[in-house]
Structure 1
């Protein structure tokens, strides 16, 4: 239970200059103070007393200490931006309601001295931030400050390039790894910023924790200038460091602390997943009595309460259960060539893609993949022809594009037996439609293959059928004898029920 909004929360924001008095020459910070006025400081909890000492809960140690809080971090948006990802991240942040949001730089593409282009890029980014409900704290990256023109624009828009603030007795240091303007791999801390960091840390020796935010992970470089001196200043205090830049998540334990290089929130990535450290995420940090607890929330794992509405559930259930493909044989007397017509139907209100793979009985592909695109609620007919006299399988892989959700993927496999053709002529045989096949004698044709309809796998041909056909005064007469040791009566698709079909 988070109740920080029910407390007097001191938020101290510093101006990066340091003033000296003429009398003592002691250094002082200039603070702008913000407090949240509330009616009560005590969380309200009341529960009725049970008849026994036993209760249906584990304990009542609510996680609601006044000094603890949650904030979020977004990481690189650019450096090969994939459009649309960062704006989704903003939407997810508004769902999560952090108390504020930190960044680690690379907010625009930059790398230009074209002032108009740079202002367009910053206007676009600020447009994203205007949609964010929580306070947002900027940190520059190499894509934000790469040359003096970009540095000037940053200062015109945001003022300082490094700063600090206090929140619930936690010190936040937002640093500028781009002071030397050397671009990627050239990050470092220069003398003036080092002296600023040193003074800030001296002024706040007893804070609960120190959080450091920078763009480039300078601890992996050979010559990050004064960064090693910064680490020496941090070594004897509880601290955590967050960086971005490499679009590849790594947690390192160094300098008696955790140092994080974050992945992306829309920046260039192959997005191969956690094993490669490649994913789009928001970092969720909960400050506790024992220090920060860090959780990585992947963007594609955060949804609002419309994640599955009744309409969507009905649609997904329908496309998952309906038979999207039916196949009819063609009539070709050439037994070495099989011809079929597949009917694929999109039952959904969303676009659908289908890839048809024709394989032999061993699963080896014997034709090229047939790609199909289906509009919502549409039908496509596809001819299939193979030079193959043995059973074949048609595997259909379906992909439905539901707006705002990952694609829904399903598949279907249809096994097809070779088709044999016989010429019929009228017969004088006295045939009665009475279930008695004695007048037929030995039925001439038998199933060469038998298929279990529930599993779509071949079974013993003895569990199949024999049949015969004849013509009588222009009418087709069919006799079928079936051997089956299991009587199957499912609900659902009639194609999977016991019965005899004549195509």
Structure 2
């Protein structure tokens, strides 16, 4: 059982990360309610999520429901931040008003992650239409840039740049100005323990049916030049989208991922990676591990209801992924404890012989309406099981 004294719980502080020590183009989070990065307790240990490609099936159609569900589940995982690999809106055929409405929908879902999100634009954000470019810049921010987190460096690239003639690229390339910036940024941040890059068009990936081309770039020559730069600068991993699948392979020591399963029409059978998903990455020094999670496989229900003014509340957290999930965002709302009272948490799996699940309180603070105490709990959820998590307010008298 984990015990958390209320008097101490109200003194938590949010620490800002040292700002962009060695970048000329700082990449801010997209403007949801969560734009401040909390400093990791240990700069070598943290969690982040990668996902992308949630655009609709075509112009005028609604945003896929998978987007909202994935963001809600990311909120349960509660990573330090999320990297999004583009195609957040449909774009093609959109008027400025329609594009803005799609961004509104995306932001509402992105806020459910309860953590900052960083974006690399895809081809759908611009859709060969120069009128959509300033909308992206106003709503989302920088087209490319970088930021530091802990001892790691993160770089976003724009693979749909503005060409010298002023037109929007069809995608799959890096313009000369951006390439020069990238080379300088990698050199300036050579001391980072890990360097991660995220972009929309995939650098490596499975060829389309009937094709032998294994890249989303316009030419394998451009791709090979970029890959050589990554190898020379010891890039740890590259996260891409565009192909609506999950895929992973290593080339010359660089791990390449495609995570394009946030709701857009899938591009392959499930056996070939064509399934809805998001990926949770854990940085442990120079070691990086991951779990592939699928939406609607991490669900939280409250059998007594939530925010009912109770002194004890239980949540059933169902994890039907075939992997354990470290969740740091299991949220409760209980009656404000009396002065000097303590809040405790316990967790268990009752299936068959059952077992105790370690759990701890991450934070507490008054709810927005002031009528309850919001308690956020962390627990590592066993695979294919429901974990019962219970919060109680206990008097110390």
Q: Same fold (TM over 0.5)?
A: yes
User: How far apart are 1:249 and its partner, in Å?
Assistant: 1.7
Query: 2: CA distance between counterparts of 1:35 and 1:128?
Result: 19
Alignment of 1:415-430 (within 5 A): none
Choose which of 256, 259, 269 in structure 2 pairs with 1:259. Answer: 256
Q: Taking CA–CA contacts closer than 8 Å with sequence separation of 6 or more, which of the two structures ends up with the larger relative contact order?
A: 2
Choose which of 274, 278, 285 in structure 1 pairs with 2:281. Answer: 285
TM-score, reference length from structure 1 = 0.48
1:116-159 deviation digits (Å, cap 9, x = unpaired): 11112112212222333101112111111222111121122233
Query: 2: CA distance between counterparts of 1:169 and 1:226?
Result: 30
- Structure 2 CA distance for partners of 1:234 and 1:101, relative to 1, 3 Å: same
Name the counterpart of 1:233: 229
- Structure 2 CA distance for partners of 1:235 and 1:66, relative to 1, 3 Å: closer
C-alpha contact 1:263 1:277 (8 A) present in aligned 2? no
Question: What secondary structure, in the 3-state scheme, does the structure 2 residue paired with 1:292 have?
Answer: strand
C-alpha contact 1:75 1:263 (8 A) present in aligned 2? yes
User: How far apart are 1:86 and its partner, in Å?
Assistant: 0.6
C-alpha contact 2:23 2:185 (8 A) present in aligned 1? no
Name the counterpart of 1:441: none
User: How far apart are 1:301 and its partner, in Å?
Assistant: 1.9
Choose which of 143, 146, 154 in structure 2 pairs with 1:161. Answer: 143
Query: 2: CA distance between counterparts of 1:198 and 1:263?
Result: 26
| Structure 1: gaps of 5 or more residues | 19-28, 42-64, 314-503
Question: What secondary structure, in the 3-state scheme, does the structure 1 residue paired with 2:123 have?
Answer: coil
- Higher alpha-carbon deviation: 108-117 or 171-180: 108-117
- Structure 2 CA distance for partners of 1:257 and 1:7, relative to 1, 3 Å: farther
Alpha-carbon RMSD: 3.5
Aligned length: 269
Alignment of 1:385-464 (within 5 A): none
Choose which of 42, 47, 54 in structure 2 pairs with 1:70. Answer: 47
| Structure 2: gaps of 5 or more residues | 1-11, 30-34, 205-214, 306-315, 317-397
Choose which of 184, 192, 197 in structure 2 pairs with 1:212. Answer: 197
Query: 1: CA distance between counterparts of 2:283 and 2:68?
Result: 26
Question: What secondary structure, in the 3-state scheme, does the structure 2 residue paired with 1:171 have?
Answer: strand
Query: 2: CA distance between counterparts of 1:202 and 1:37?
Result: 24
1:268-320 deviation digits (Å, cap 9, x = unpaired): 127843x12111111100001233212111113212255999xxx9xxxxxxx
Query: 2: CA distance between counterparts of 1:248 and 1:305?
Result: 29
Choose which of 170, 177, 183 in structure 2 pairs with 1:198. Answer: 183
Alignment of 1:313-392 (within 5 A): none
Name the counterpart of 1:58: none
- Structure 2 CA distance for partners of 1:224 and 1:153, relative to 1, 3 Å: farther
Query: 2: CA distance between counterparts of 1:98 and 1:258?
Result: 21
- Structure 2 CA distance for partners of 1:124 and 1:202, relative to 1, 3 Å: same
C-alpha contact 1:14 1:31 (8 A) present in aligned 2? no
Over alpha carbons, which structure has the higher Rg?
Answer: 1
User: How far apart are 1:193 and its partner, in Å?
Assistant: 0.5
1:228-283 deviation digits (Å, cap 9, x = unpaired): 3332222031410011111022212213211011241111127843x121111111
C-alpha contact 2:28 2:142 (8 A) present in aligned 1? no
Name the counterpart of 2:103: 122
1:143-186 deviation digits (Å, cap 9, x = unpaired): 11222111121122233200100101101001111115343xx4
User: How far apart are 1:36 and its partner, in Å?
Assistant: 5.3
Name the counterpart of 2:394: none
C-alpha contact 1:187 1:224 (8 A) present in aligned 2? no
Whether 1:93 aligns to 2:93 is no
Name the counterpart of 1:133: 114
Query: 2: CA distance between counterparts of 1:142 and 1:229?
Result: 21
Whether 1:248 aligns to 2:245 is yes
Query: 2: CA distance between counterparts of 1:34 and 1:13?
Result: 13
1:164-220 deviation digits (Å, cap 9, x = unpaired): 00101101001111115343xx41111010011011111111111111101111341
C-alpha contact 1:13 1:31 (8 A) present in aligned 2? no
TM-score, reference length from structure 2 = 0.60
Query: 1: CA distance between counterparts of 2:169 and 2:222?
Result: 15
